């Protein structure tokens, strides 16, 4: 092994591949091409004299040497950022709104991805309905929002499409000759409006039995056996089952997750890109 120092760009590329489990997602997070990602990894592996990533057509995983090197690589990047940050006393503030229907159990991981991208960012995250967050974005109260696609808006960047279904607890059973009991979020929740319209168009009687202030509350009502909810599978607690086919309910479409941002500075843009790539990798295909 020579005495040449490591290429920090290559080290960052390796960390992104390891965290996202995908060369494609790493390329998106780093705003480059997949071929460039592969080239940087090969150069790093040649410099270290070992294979860091085992790649097959079906999966990407760390080698034993890659697992050992990963924590050192993260620490190297962290210390590099600290060294740069020591030259200034100001921290860039990043205000992000995330729809309650998007911010699933992966939220801690998504925050960690942004922090790893730039530990010196001051990150503020607000959770709310897509409509309310978009209004805050338009009033410039938020620099970035990640929401379900909002009716009447054609701007924004598509992150992923996510499948929805009608879910209930395993023991829940409908009552004969009674409207379908629905657990939902209050208006202006777009998912609530969509689900109600589909049921109305299919001439299926329904009634609200629970209105929750967030997806967590709605999921709790479902698991408590109160009724049925239109939810993304990623949001569900263990034990929820899809009852759409059994009850002949109208099929729910896949709903887009959209990114709206006015962030300009490079570091914040990199953090938003890393957040988007991590969220995309968390959404089931």
Q: What would the pLDDT profile of 44-65 be if each residue is shown by its tens digit? A: 999 898 999 988 777 788 999 9
DSSP of the chain, one letter per residue?
A: --SPPP-HHHHHHHHHHHHHT-HHHHHHHTTS-HHHHHHHHHHHHHHHTS--EEE-SS-EEE-HHHHHHHHHHHHHHHHHHHHHHTT-S---EEEEEEETTT--TTHHHHHHHHHHH-TT-EEEEEEE-HHHHHHHHHTTS-SEEEEEPPTT---SEEEEEE-EEEEEETT--PPTTSPEEEEEPPTT-HHHHHHHHHHHHTT--EEEEEE-SSHHHHHHHHHTTS-BEEEEGGGPPTTEEE-TTTTTPPPPPPEEEEEEE---SHHHHHHHHHHHHHHHHHS--
Pick the residue with more confidence: 253 or 114? 253
Render pLDDT for 212-235 as a digit per residue (tens, 0 to 9).
988 889 999 999 999 999 999 888
Render pLDDT for 259-280 as a digit per residue (tens, 0 to 9).
999 988 877 888 888 888 888 8
Pick the residue with more confidence: 239 or 87? 239
Question: If you search the block for the tokens 């860091």, which residue do you land on?
Answer: 52
Pick the residue with more confidence: 20 or 126? 126
Write down the pTM of the prediction: 0.67
């Amino acid at each position: 092994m020579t005495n040449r120092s490591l290429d920090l760009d290559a080290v960052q590329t390796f960390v992104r591949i390891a965290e996202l489990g995908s060369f494609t997602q790493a390329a998106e997070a780093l705003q480059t091409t997949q071929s460039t990602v592969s080239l940087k990894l090969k150069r790093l592996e040649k410099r270290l004299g070992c294979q860091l990533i085992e790649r097959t057509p079906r999966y990407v995983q760390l080698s034993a040497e890659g697992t050992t090197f990963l924590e050192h690589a993260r620490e190297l990047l962290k210390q590099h950022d600290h060294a740069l940050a020591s030259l200034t006393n100001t921290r860039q503030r990043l205000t992000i709104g995330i729809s309650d229907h998007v911010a699933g159990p992966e939220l801690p991981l998504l925050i960690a991805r942004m922090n790893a991208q730039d530990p010196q960012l001051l990150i503020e995250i607000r959770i709310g309905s897509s409509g309310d967050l978009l209004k805050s974005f338009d009033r410039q109260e938020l620099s970035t929002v990640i929401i379900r696609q909002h009716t009447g808006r054609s701007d924004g960047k598509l992150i992923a499409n996510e499948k929805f279904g009608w879910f209930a607890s395993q023991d829940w059973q409908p009552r004969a000759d009674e409207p379908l009991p629905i657990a939902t979020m209050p208006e202006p929740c777009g998912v609530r409006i969509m689900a109600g319209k589909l049921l109305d168009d299919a001439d299926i009687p329904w009634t609200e039995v629970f209105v929750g202030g967030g997806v967590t509350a709605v999921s709790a009502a479902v698991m408590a056996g109160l009724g049925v909810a239109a939810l993304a599978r990623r949001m569900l607690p263990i034990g929820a089952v899809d009852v759409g086919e059994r009850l002949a309910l109208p099929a729910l479409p896949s709903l887009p997750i959209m990114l709206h941002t006015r962030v300009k500075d490079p570091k914040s843009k990199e953090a938003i890109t890393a957040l988007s790539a991590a969220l995309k990798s968390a959404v089931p295909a």
